[in-house]
Amino acid sequence: MNKQLSSTQFAILVFICGMAIKMFMLPALMLKVSGRDSIVVMAFYLVIELINVLFLVYTLCRNPDKTFYEIVESGIGKIGSIITVIYFTLFLLLKILLMIGEVKVFFSSSVYERISWDIMIIPLLVLCVGFASKPLTSLGRSSEIFAPLIVLSTVILSLLLSANVPISNLLPLFSNGLKSSVEGALTFPVWFGDVSLLLVCLGNVKVSKHTVLKTVLMRLLSVVFVLVFSVIMFSTYADITDLIDYGHNVSSMTQYSLGSHDYGRFDYIIYCFWMLAVLVKIMLNFYAMSQNVRYVSGKTARFIIPIIIAIVVYVLTVFVLKNENAMYSVSTSVLRFVFMPAEFLLPFFTFILAVIKFRKAEHQEKKEGDGEQKTV
């Protein structure tokens, strides 16, 4: 099996990571903190992520055969790279707990009346172990299969929701100055910073002349989707944020737009397709964690490492972060500041290391070339 992602597969992963978990509960949560200005906070983070994507693509194209670990190790040495990777893994752990929490909230609060999540999380973790034990190509190919479903469901949902949206509710912005925007920006960084996940793809992508274009376009598409959904959510609930509680999400809105008695809640089926994006992102996150642990431990065990990680995630989800409120509290606790560098600076950091290394190599090559010429 070819172990390298194609440019298209990489671009699709960038697209999926860009939109998953940002369109479901996050808008509702942001509304509670930032009100109408949530759109500003959302746009701010999306721009930062877009810049990070550019750093990532540049690093990828300049060093197509170098993995994240090789770049970091060549830049700051073995010990430094191990510390960085451990820190990165802890961030990924927080992130996967958040994402599993979102899946749980959707299925438990929207689709199921009663469900034992302690058992239901197991199939999800089995999936994660399955993907983590296979080459990244498997996830890349799966994303190609899921991408049309995700796009189609997003477009259908946008159309369903867009009827009677009071766009004027979005204005005026900054009615309370910058305070609410800053507060929102400081509260929800854990929901962003998805470009760091993609660092694991470095060295595993077949770079072509269209890689940059495809990746940037797909990222822009995800930005458009997220903004459309956010605008709908923010403008619909801008005046009535008090009604929103934790667990309130975009599916609550379609409930009203559908007239559920006549047509049934067929939108749940669409949300399930939509959830595939979150599943893919969880798999990628889990894969990245497994690779990190493999690097730190120096072992290449195919199944054991993912199984151990799955057990840790299971224990944390079931016994420590029992409910959604606990998850929300952890995600918005001091940890959000601790992991901010991993979220937003790691791609830049990798880019800088790659540039330094590349320049050094270039310089060295030039020197050797000059030396050879002189000898001749």
Partner 1 sequence: MKRADFLLEKFSTPDLIVRRNFKSDRFDGVLLYNPDLTDSLLIQELLKSLEDVRENVRNLQQLASRFVVVAESKVVYENEDATEGILNGDTVIIIDKANGYVVVNTRKYDKRAITEPPTSNVMQGPREGFVEDVKTNLALIERRLRTPSLAVEKLTVGRRSGTCVAIAYLSDVADESVVKKIRERIGNIDVDGIIDSNYVRAFVEDRPMSVFAQSAVSEKPDVVCAKMLEGRVAVIVDGSPMVLTFPFLLVEDFQSGEDYYQRSAFSTFLRIVRFLGVITAIFLPGLYVALQIFHYNIIPMRFVLTLMSSVNGIPFKPLSETVFVILLFELIREAGIRTPRAVGMAMSIVGALVLGETAVKAGIISSPAVMIVALSSLSLYTVPNQVGTMSILRIVFTLLGGLGGLYLIICGATYVVMYLTSIDSFSTPYLSPFAPINTEDIKDSLIRVSLPRMINRPSSIPNKNKRRQK
- By the criterion CB under 8 A, which residues form the site for partner 1? 1-2, 6, 8-9, 107, 111-113, 115, 120, 123-124, 126-127, 130-131, 134-135, 137-142, 144-146, 260-266, 268-269, 272, 275-276, 279
CB of 173 to partner 1, least distance (A): 37
Tokens encoding 200: 């694991």
- Cα gap 115→117, rounded to integer Å: 6
CB of 270 to partner 1, least distance (A): 11
Q: Which is nearer to partner 1, 42 or 277 (CB)?
A: 277
Q: Which is nearer to partner 1, 274 or 339 (CB)?
A: 274
- Cα gap 331→336, rounded to integer Å: 6
Q: Which is nearer to partner 1, 228 or 283 (CB)?
A: 283
Q: Which is nearer to partner 1, 248 or 336 (CB)?
A: 248
CB of 53 to partner 1, least distance (A): 21
CB of 13 to partner 1, least distance (A): 13
Residue 241 DSSP code: G
- Provide DSSP, 298-332: T---SSHHHHHHHHHHHHIIIIIS-SHHHHHHHHT
Q: How far is CA 227 from CA 30, 143, 301, in A?
A: 13, 22, 41
Q: What angle do CA 61, 62, 66 make, to 5 degrees?
A: 90
Question: Which helix (H) or strand (E) segment is 363 a member of?
Answer: helix 346-375
Q: What is the CA radius of gyration of the chain?
A: 22
Q: Which is nearer to partner 1, 6 or 84 (CB)?
A: 6
Q: Which is nearer to partner 1, 145 or 155 (CB)?
A: 145
CB of 301 to partner 1, least distance (A): 18
CB of 138 to partner 1, least distance (A): 4
Nearest residue to 46 (alpha-carbon basis) of 253, 269, 222 = 222
Q: At what angle do helices 136-162 and 211-237 cross, to 10 degrees?
A: 40
CB of 104 to partner 1, least distance (A): 10
Question: Can you list the pairs that 182-185 forms with residues at least 24 positions away whose Cβ atoms lie under 8 Å?
Answer: 183/33, 183/34, 184/30, 184/33, 184/34, 184/37, 184/38, 184/41, 185/41, 185/44, 185/45
CB of 322 to partner 1, least distance (A): 19
CA dihedral 210, 215, 217, 222 (to 10 degrees): 160
Q: Which is nearer to partner 1, 48 or 318 (CB)?
A: 318
Q: Which is nearer to partner 1, 241 or 323 (CB)?
A: 323
